[in-house]
Every structure is written in C-alpha cells, then in structure tokens.
Chain A
Amino acid sequence: MSEIANSIFTPETAARFDRLVTLYPVKRSALVPMLLYAQDEVGYVSDAVVTEIAQRLDLMELDVRNVLSYYSMLRTKPAGKYNVQVCTNISCMLRGGYEILDHCRHKLGIGHKEVTADKLFSLEEVECIGACCWAPAMQVNYDFHDNLTTVKVDEILETYRAGKGKDVK
C-alpha cells in the first residue's frame, strides 16, 4: 500500500515506488530511478512529480530539484511521445552521426530539444550512448537503433509514426 493518499502515479508505478524504497539501506537511494520511472509515465518531471517524490522519500523539494537538474536524461519539459536521441560523439561522428542528426532535423522539421507540432516526436543530440562499435546510432525512448543510414532512419521513424515501433520503457 502506498503511503501517499492521492498518488499522481498509476497503481503499478506507485507499487513499484513502494517496493523501490525498501530495497536500499537508505530510502533516498531510490531517488534517481524514481525520477526516471516517473518521467516515463508522466512524460517529464513535473512540479507534481517533484512534490510527490519528495514526500515519498522524506526529502525537501529542493533536494529533489538539486538532483533533477544534474542528470541529462531527466527533463522538466514534455518531450514528444517518441524521443529521438541521436549520438554525435566521436565514434558515431566518424561514421556519419552528424548526417543522421541533420537528416532527422530535416525529416522531422525540428531542432535540438524541440517537439513536433503533433507532439509525436522530439529530437535531441546526445553524448555517447554506448553503441560505439555499431555506429552511427540513436535511441528512440529506450530502444537502440544502430548501424544507421538515412534510409534506415526514414524506415524507423515511419514505424513509430505508424504506431508499430517497439517502445521500450
């Protein structure tokens, strides 16, 4: 049972959070994963998310915001349903990461950290995602796509647009 009377999260997520805090010697350790899971559900770390997580962990909201502002995968504004993250770090850069990023910009009509008008896609240029040997690579939400070509990118985006993409969360 959740300690929070009016949770903003689904019962599944609330139950997951209840379990998370019991795993660690110190409750606060659950903070980073909780922020990520909350973001997956809500779409971003909203003020309400910060308030509830602070309550769940007996922290000040300031403590939560302090951590929130540090990690690059946590965001305080909504992204698209599918967040396209293109890696342009060295290994990807050498194998055409910037061409892939430019292609996505052109194809989606948006720039870095922007969202399409239909809110379906957002685009981010990111640092290394650990797919160096299969470069160039990108992540859509948490789903890896590697050995990219512009043709492959078109197919991938189309798959998501048609609602058939794998959505790893």
Chain B
Amino acid sequence: MPTLVSHPDEVKVISRRFGQGAADIDKYIELDGYKAVQKAISQGENMAAWIIDTMKASGLRGRGGAGFPTGMKWSFVPKQSEKPKYVLVNGDESEPGTCKDHVIFLHDPHAVIEGTMIAGLAIGAKMGFIYLRGEYRYLLKIMEKAVADAYAKGFLGKNIFGSGLDFDIVTQSGAGAYEVGEESALMESLEGKRGVPRIKPPFPAVVGLYGGPTVINNAETIASAPHILLMGGEAYAKLGSERNGGTRLFGISGHVERPGVYELPMGYNLKKAIYDVAGGIKDGKKLKAVVPGGSSCPVLLPEEIDVGLDFDQMGKAGTMLGSGGIVVLDETVSIVEFALRTIAFYQHESCGWCIPCREGTDWIKKTLTRVYNGGGSKKDVANVQYLAENMMGRTFCPLGDAAAMPTLGFVKKFRKEFEDYIEGHKAGTPIITVEQLVGAH
C-alpha cells in the first residue's frame, strides 16, 4: 500500500484530505465534502457560467499531461445538443513514472465524484463515467463503494441537492493498455472496443462518447474542481505561477532518498524538488539525468534542472511537465539501457494502427537492443535519431510523439555515451539476452 510522504514546502490543496480517512463519506462531508457542488447549485441560473468562470480564473491546466486550460475546455461544449452530454474521467494513469491519481483514488475518492458532478453541471451533462486502469482494481473497489455511498445519501441520482437536476456516475475498468489514456482511445474502450484513437476533428467536446458532446479530464484535474470552487478561482491561481494556476501532485521516483507523491505549487523549482523535497540523490551518489514529467518527456541534464515546474518553463527548457512524474537517475544508470527500456515500453503499447508509430518504435527497439548487446555501430545512433525524427507529428495520436521525444532527448544529450558504449563493446559479447531485457510481451 502506498505510503504517504510530506514536506514543509508542500501546499496542500488537493492532498489536504489525504491520510484522514476521507474515503469514508461521513469523514469526507466533515472535511467540507460536497460543499462545492452545493455552492455551485446555489448560484441558480448562473450555475454553469459561474463554474466555468471560476475554473477559468483558477488558471487550472489539465493534469493529464497536455496542460490545456480546463475552464476553456468546459466552455467548448455546445450549450444545446440533441444527443446527451457526458463527463468522462480519465483515471487510466499508465505513463511510467506517474502514480499520482493512484493516491487520489485511494485517499480522496469522493473528490473525484464531486468533481465529476461539477463538470457535469458546468456542461449540462446528466451522466459521468470514471474510468480506472485495469491494474487499479483495488482502487476501483474503493471508487465503487464511494459512488454507492453517494447514491445512498441521495447525492447522486435524481434531483441532486434539490436542484431539479439528475446526475449518474458509472465506474468503469480498463484491462491494460497505455494507449487508452489518450482521450479518443479512452472513449473507444468505454464503448467496448479496442482502445485505438479516433481521427480528430471532430473533437470530443462536440462529438464524443456515444456521439454526444463530452468533457474528458484527468482524474487530478477533476478532483481539483471542488477545491477551486470552495477557495475561489483567483485564490487558487495565486498559488501557482504565471499562466499556471494552483498546485499539483508531483510523483518523484527513482534514485532519490524519499520518493513519493508531493503537492507543490506550480512553478516550484525542479532542483529543489529533487534535493530538498525528495531528500536528494539516494546513497549520496551523483545525479546523472532527470526525466521530468513521465517517460515521454525529454531528459534533462543535471545542469538543466534549475527550472520551474510548470508547463511554460518546462517547455522553454526543451522538455515537458507532462504528468508530473519526475524520474531521477543517478550516475550508475546506463543511458543505453534506460533508453532501450523506455522505447521497449512504447513498442509494447503502440496500438499498431498507424505505421510511423508501429514500425518506428519496433525499429528503434531492435536497433537499441543490438547496440545494448554489443553488436552496434556508430551509424545506429544516427539511425535511431532519424527514425524518431520521422515519427514526430506523423501519427494519429500523441503516442508516436511520446515515443520519439524521449528517444531524441537520449541520443542528442548522451550521444557520446552511446558511441563510447558501442566502441567499448566491439567484442560483441552479449551482456544480457534480448528475452531477458525486453521480455514483457
């Protein structure tokens, strides 16, 4: 069971109920639970506009990785629609390095439910789906119980909080596919199909689940909504940095002394997060590299980590904030091995629909496997770069980019290590077999 960590620099908004037994509905209510949704309803006719304005003022940007402003996303849903509208919560948290939603589902499931209701009220939906990855079965049970408890209290179902509005929530489980984290693939999966992406446009806000307008948000984004409505959009925005409102959950893993999920203000310094918050590099070793926002984000060198953790500053630093999963590598890590393990994941998870992703990930994996086993040539590094560059922007969904971006980062920033490795293993003695290394199939 995940252990909770804490640090004085944390600003606890979304994590303020963690560790207090808020999975229990009565405890959740005691800790201001379901107040935000009632506050929204009390706005009367202005309810939808008030929610969306507050969300816009909060500067909240999607916590799943892309960082799109949430209030704006909700405002894109057409007011009038012949087909029913839906809210879909993306809890298919599968990006390696990311485990923040795990903690929300475990410690504050009702915040996800309340957030779903708020999103529903904002867009005029009567139904919400909370989709958890299949591996989170024990968390699905917690969510299922929380939803049942909310129904038992009369918070969900007909005439919620005397508003005359109805709202239903269905919890749903996936069955193991990273691709399903992509919003249109998530809709396909929820409709009982293979989780492959849809062509856009139309965008889900117009044509989404079952053909109806749909808002899809990451679980952390949704769980932030009740807190924002209670504290006010401006107050929330002030916690963060420019154009990056509020706080977010950062999962710091890998070679640090105190790995864990910490809630830090947007714009918090990455170096401080690693050295102060997470206790520095494990066993006093030297830092070699940081993957700052889940496995798809380009790697940073030690001299590049004095940067603020928000979408804009990370973009300027040539990488991404992504899902906030910071992976720290010490000096003992072989980048060749690490790059191979990363691409092996994307090769495994590519849905295979489009050629640049399906063939590109496979080709890069095979090339790096050969390099790792001692059979590489210097040309391989250039080939890997060429392949990754040709995947970028040429796939139906972002998985192709997600595979290409870290690969490019590794070969550009650690080219010498790749070349030295190839040079040093000219004898061609395999260190480890292919099956041992990438056997996860």
Q: Give chain A nearest CB distance to B137 CB in angstroms.
A: 4
Contact A25 B210 (CB under 8 A): yes
Q: Is A55 part of the binding interface, using a Cβ–Cβ cutoff of 8 Å?
A: no
Residues of B within 8 A of A94 (CB): 253-255, 327-329, 333
* A91 touching B97 in the complex, CB below 8 Å, given contacts A36-B134, A74-B176, A130-B102: yes
* Bound Cα distance A72, B333 (Å): 29
Contact B192 A26 (CB under 8 A): yes
* Bound Cα distance A26, B338 (Å): 43
Residue of B nearest to A125 (CB): B440
Contact A133 B135 (CB under 8 A): no
* Bound Cα distance A130, B96 (Å): 7
Contact B98 A130 (CB under 8 A): yes
State which of A24, A133, A169 has its C-beta within 8 Å of the C-beta of B260: A133
Q: Is A88 part of the binding interface, using a Cβ–Cβ cutoff of 8 Å?
A: yes
Q: Is A51 part of the binding interface, using a Cβ–Cβ cutoff of 8 Å?
A: no
* Bound Cα distance A111, B80 (Å): 56
* Bound Cα distance A132, B345 (Å): 15
Contact A33 B440 (CB under 8 A): no
Contact A134 B192 (CB under 8 A): no
Stretch of B166-174, B391-399, B414-422 at the chain-chain interface = B166-174
State which of A72, A93, A130, A134 has its C-beta within 8 Å of the C-beta of B259: A134
State which of B133, B210, B327 has its C-beta within 8 Å of the C-beta of A132: B327
* Bound Cα distance A124, B439 (Å): 9
Residue of B nearest to A169 (CB): B137
* Bound Cα distance A25, B399 (Å): 29
Q: Is B108 part of the binding interface, using a Cβ–Cβ cutoff of 8 Å?
A: no
Interface flags, A24-46, vs B, CB<8A=1, else 0: 11101111110110000000000
Q: Is A157 part of the binding interface, using a Cβ–Cβ cutoff of 8 Å?
A: no
Contact B192 A67 (CB under 8 A): yes
Q: Is A73 part of the binding interface, using a Cβ–Cβ cutoff of 8 Å?
A: yes
**Interface-central residue, B101, B327, B328, by most chain A CB under 10 Å:** B327
Residues of A within 8 A of B229 (CB): none
Q: Is A149 part of the binding interface, using a Cβ–Cβ cutoff of 8 Å?
A: no
Q: Is A99 part of the binding interface, using a Cβ–Cβ cutoff of 8 Å?
A: no
Residues of B within 8 A of A90 (CB): 96-97, 254, 291, 295, 327, 338, 341-342, 345
* A71 touching B174 in the complex, CB below 8 Å, given contacts A29-B191, A130-B99, A139-B135: yes
Q: Is B221 part of the binding interface, using a Cβ–Cβ cutoff of 8 Å?
A: no
Q: Is A129 part of the binding interface, using a Cβ–Cβ cutoff of 8 Å?
A: yes
Chain B interface, >50% SS class: mixed
Q: Is A135 part of the binding interface, using a Cβ–Cβ cutoff of 8 Å?
A: yes
Contact B135 A28 (CB under 8 A): no
* Bound Cα distance A168, B134 (Å): 13
Within 8 A of A (CB), among B323-348: 325, 327-329, 333, 338, 341-342, 345, 348
Q: Give chain B nearest CB distance to A159 CB in angstroms.
A: 15
Contact A33 B96 (CB under 8 A): no
Residues of B within 8 A of A61 (CB): none
* A112 touching B2 in the complex, CB below 8 Å, given contacts A94-B254, A94-B329, A127-B178: no
* Bound Cα distance A29, B138 (Å): 21
Q: Give chain B nearest CB distance to A59 CB in angstroms.
A: 8
* A36 touching B175 in the complex, CB below 8 Å, given contacts A94-B329, A142-B137: yes
Residues of A within 8 A of B333 (CB): 94
* A126 touching B440 in the complex, CB below 8 Å, given contacts A36-B173, A139-B135: yes
Q: Is B189 part of the binding interface, using a Cβ–Cβ cutoff of 8 Å?
A: yes
Q: Give chain A nearest CB distance to B413 CB in angstroms.
A: 16
Q: Is A89 part of the binding interface, using a Cβ–Cβ cutoff of 8 Å?
A: yes
Contact A71 B176 (CB under 8 A): yes
**Interface-central residue, B172, B260, B435, by most chain A CB under 10 Å:** B172
Residue of B nearest to A86 (CB): B440
Residue of A nearest to B169 (CB): A23
Q: Is A108 part of the binding interface, using a Cβ–Cβ cutoff of 8 Å?
A: no
User: A33-B172, A67-B193, A168-B137 provided; 7 other pairs, C-beta below 8 A?
Assistant: A25-B84, A29-B192, A70-B351, A71-B134, A90-B96, A127-B94, A130-B133
Q: Which residues of A pack against B, CB within 8 Å?
A: 23-26, 28-33, 35-36, 57, 66-67, 70-74, 88-91, 93-95, 111-112, 124-135, 139, 142-144, 146-147, 168-169
Give 19 A-B contacts (CB < 8 Å), ordered by A residue. Answer: A25-B210, A29-B172, A30-B192, A32-B134, A32-B173, A71-B134, A71-B175, A88-B341, A90-B327, A93-B341, A94-B329, A95-B253, A124-B440, A125-B439, A132-B251, A132-B325, A133-B2, A133-B260, A135-B254
